[in-house]
Chain A
């Protein structure tokens, strides 16, 4: 059985090679910048957790305060790592899907530098004490246009790429990617206009929460799903289990996700219908989540007993990310119920859920895409399967640790806080033990990514393995297919 059924003609192969070559430098630029920011973000995650558990550490140094480290960690994670990894994947996927070469590589790389510049400014501004305590929008308002310009310069080139494509129905991956490309400016623009010093203080805060949820559901998730819908059928050698189900997944996400976000402030100072609508939409989103999850699972499993994800790094990361997507969908839906939110709202759990979305769902699925894309654009293979395995397992341990400890810790902390006639400090004490889980999780994640950076750097310089066959997680032999 072949792990990469390729019924392509020689022309197809040449065309793909040309596309991959054209995409090489722009996509590698985004992936390597993203990886560098990931290193920064994971270290900051570790240090911010540490400062929460041991606040006396370096306490006379303002830059080490939790209130500075945590937002800076989030900026690096969301804008430095996640957005750029997404852009890199988006460029390659759209090039392949539209079968057009990437023509404006230099402009895209300049755009990437502008984006990096914007993120660096954002980080330094918040770190130096010019932040705004607005989750994911902390940076001073004047930095948003820099990021916007970088983004537009990158994604506007999707338009000519799309126009050059051959006739045919728009494939579901393209729908997700085009959606993401269009949604982000709309969401980012709205958020930057409404959030900040605005005419309505509570709606400004509400729009902030709306932005966080919409960035997850309208940028991170679509890119991850678009990549998965392209890569899973390719690697499994089968078409998607149910294409209509894929479209159901897409449209239910498109219709429902815009209503989510305000449920972060259930019981908050909003007209009661607003968080209620958000909560309902989050629950209905389970349709999209489950439709997608089932589709991926059935496609990968097919009729055979072979567990493809044991061999293909891309499938392993992607399927794990998809599983985390289902978990995230269920936990978010649960958060919309009062019984759950009475305990978990504003607890440590909030951080666990946000990290699950950005790292557990999106990052794992994008790692899967990166493990597929980079060999094709650099013309060499990943040198070490062992490092890929370490990357996978330690990331898994890390994300599992953070979600579990923040879930249990949130329950413990908020449960204690809800004992309204006992002292507040008890909830802090109870919660602090679980914050250690957050510290350990980021340490595991940092460690898991060391091997990834090393291999990515090697591939960047074209020093990967040059031999036949993809790097697999386990050696594959025909006898193992029973």
Chain B
């Protein structure tokens, strides 16, 4: 009777211990110890190493990443560009990176980030490369907005850009202040979303941090030639479409 219990527990221990150790703990420990690999010897372009230890992870601060987490962004946005055998992500303009540099997301892309917000669902677009995508798109359209301004506007009033967007308004990250002297920071809102005259909407520190984080979203650091996807060329037909 007691032996039965110990046999059961031993069986459970081994049956569960194996995947716990081999699938979770061991790879985890292995990846915490991962060091950037130096490819300079065999790559022609004086490539330092992958991942680039000097890459600035979050812009000005880590705070933006916390806000991304606490606002539940990962429930609607992913940060995974899948390789071509798993989905057509890389063909979408700007999703995999800049023109001609599109690639899938790799583990080394997230080094130093604590938790990779790979995401739960794609109700909104993938954000792995949103830092480069928005500025490229604004440039292609000849827009007067900087990408920082675009992000602020989009966070405050998503439906200013897309009528059918499901994105919630993050207006609690912004403040309504009297217009006097604050025109520089003010969001260029359409009439429908703008506050009454004499007032403007300006970002708070939290909004700036979040936008810093979003602008830092680029998973297109150079990789050695041996890691580049074979025979892949992204379409350059229409910079208008996402």
Contact = CB atoms under 8 A, between A and B. Distances in A.
A183 B111 CA distance: 31
B116 A66 contact: no
Chain B CB count within 10 A is highest, among A270, A346, A428, for A346
A432 B164 contact: yes
Given A67-B76, A262-B23, A274-B23, A175 B8 contact: yes
Chain B CB count within 10 A is highest, among A62, A196, A207, A428, for A428
B143 to A, nearest CB: 17
B71 A432 contact: no
Contacts of B86: 266-267, 338, 341-342, 345
Chain A CB count within 10 A is highest, among B24, B85, B89, B242, for B24
A346 B81 CA distance: 12
A251 B24 contact: no
A23 B108 CA distance: 53
B235 to A, nearest CB: 7
Nearest to B235: A421
Contacts of A199: 28, 31-32
A432 B167 CA distance: 12
A66 B241 CA distance: 26
Interface residues of B, number: 79
B28 A207 contact: yes
A62 B172 contact: yes
Nearest to B26: A203
Interface string A48-63: 0001110110011110
A423 interface: yes
Contacts of B172: 60-62
Contacts of B237: 421
Given A52-B166, A133-B73, A203 B123 contact: no
B165 A55 contact: yes
A210 B86 CA distance: 20
B20 A267 contact: no
Interface string B139-170: 00000000000000000001100101111111
Given A202-B110, A265-B118, A269-B110, A425 B168 contact: no
B208 interface: no
A428 B124 contact: yes
A260 to B, nearest CB: 8
Contacts of A254: 11-12, 15-16
A366 B164 CA distance: 40
Interface in A167-197: 167-170, 175, 178-179, 182-183, 186, 190, 194-197
B186 interface: no
Contacts of B159: 55-56
B171 A59 contact: yes
A448 interface: no
B34 to A, nearest CB: 8
A131 B70 contact: yes
Given A210-B24, A350-B120, A420 B74 contact: no
Given A51-B168, A251-B15, A274-B23, A134 B69 contact: yes
A195 B115 contact: yes
Contacts of B168: 51, 55, 59, 64-67
A351 B75 CA distance: 10
Contacts of B100: none
A24 interface: no
Given A170-B5, A269-B106, A131 B72 contact: yes
Contacts of B91: 420-421
B231 interface: no
A321 B241 CA distance: 45
Contacts of B162: 425, 428
A130 interface: yes
A259 B88 contact: no
A333 interface: no
Interface in B90-145: 91-92, 104-107, 109-125
Nearest to B16: A258
B60 to A, nearest CB: 18
A203 B23 contact: no
B63 interface: no
Interface in B1-33: 1-2, 4-5, 8-9, 11-12, 15-16, 18-20, 23-25, 27-28, 31-32
A474 interface: no
B59 interface: no
Nearest to B120: A135
B75 A133 contact: yes
A401 interface: no
B166 A432 contact: yes
B68 interface: yes
B216 interface: no
A393 interface: no
A147 B1 CA distance: 32
B44 to A, nearest CB: 26
B118 A205 contact: yes
Contact of B121 (A62, A130, A274, A347): A347
A437 to B, nearest CB: 15
A425 B88 contact: no
A425 B165 contact: yes
Given A338-B85, A425-B162, A202 B118 contact: yes
A269 B105 contact: yes
A150 interface: no
B213 to A, nearest CB: 12
A25 to B, nearest CB: 28
A347 B122 contact: yes
Interface in A147-178: 162-163, 165-170, 175, 178
A201 B70 contact: no
A1 interface: no
A195 B118 CA distance: 13
B76 A66 contact: yes
Contacts of B198: none
- Shortest 6 CB-CB contacts between residues of A and residues of B: A67-B72, A267-B86, A199-B32, A258-B19, A267-B82, A133-B74
11 contacts: A59-B171, A67-B71, A67-B168, A70-B72, A70-B75, A167-B1, A178-B12, A259-B23, A274-B27, A278-B23, A281-B19
